[in-house]
Amino acid sequence: MKQTLLLLSGLLCDETVWADIPERLADTADVRIISFRGFSSISAMAAHALTQAPERFALAGHSMGGRVALEVVRLAPQRVSGLALLNTGVHPVRDGEPQSRERLLRLAFDHGMTALAAQWLPPMMAAGARSAELMPRLTAMIERSSADSYAGQITALLNRPEAFSVLPTITVPTLLLSGSEDTWSPVSQHETMRRRIPHATLFEIHGAGHMAPAERPDAVAVALREWLASIQGTRQ
């Protein structure tokens, strides 16, 4: 019987960032993608994900979606059979973060989402992943959001729940994943989380940045497949 796998999208992201993953896992998981356009609270995002989920499910969150996944674990740990955290973190708001996010938000309101995409996307991605095929797809994804929706998600991130204390409570198979060129949520950040989670594994995707599921879907799918197999093994 296939496991249900929820894929939670990050800031300004929708199914596009996960688009090449479901078919790669179709033989082992019933994959559902959840995005959070229109939300302004991590807790509300987590509650929404729980309403979309069956009683028991595996859960993977990318970037902001990783924060949401940890809040799901806090709210309903008994429903989560496995946890994957991709390109994310548990640190509180850092010095300068509100100001840097405000600058990007002002750009979105003053010049539009296309201008935001042009400034926001390239630094997050590995140079080799900025292909003529992928960049227009991700730009179009951002253009589908509005500045108001972006503002709501920024509010959610700047008021994010404390998450560090959740890590030692996680008892299910856990995958931590980041790209070797992710400067926003580097591998070292995930290693710090790994040391706090019992039985967690860390997977580094070489040649990927912060958008690893879109940049290197082949490698990400391999990591997710191994993790799903470990969940299945704990059931037997």
User: Tens digit of pLDDT for each residue in 140-181?
Assistant: 999 999 999 999 999 999 999 999 999 999 999 999 999 999
Using CA of residue 35, residue 72, residue 58, residue 201, what is the dihedral sign? Answer: positive
> Where are the chain's structural domains?
3-94+154-235
CATH annotation of 3-94+154-235: 3.40.50.1820
- Running along the chain, 236 residues long, what does each successive block of 10 average in pLDDT? 95 97 97 98 98 97 98 98 98 97 98 98 92 94 98 98 98 98 97 96 97 97 98 71
Transcribe 137-191 into DSSP letters.
HHHHHHHTS-HHHHHHHHHHHHTPPP-GGGGGG--S-EEEEEETT-SSS-HHHHH
In whole angstroms, give the CA distance from residue 76 to residue 90: 18
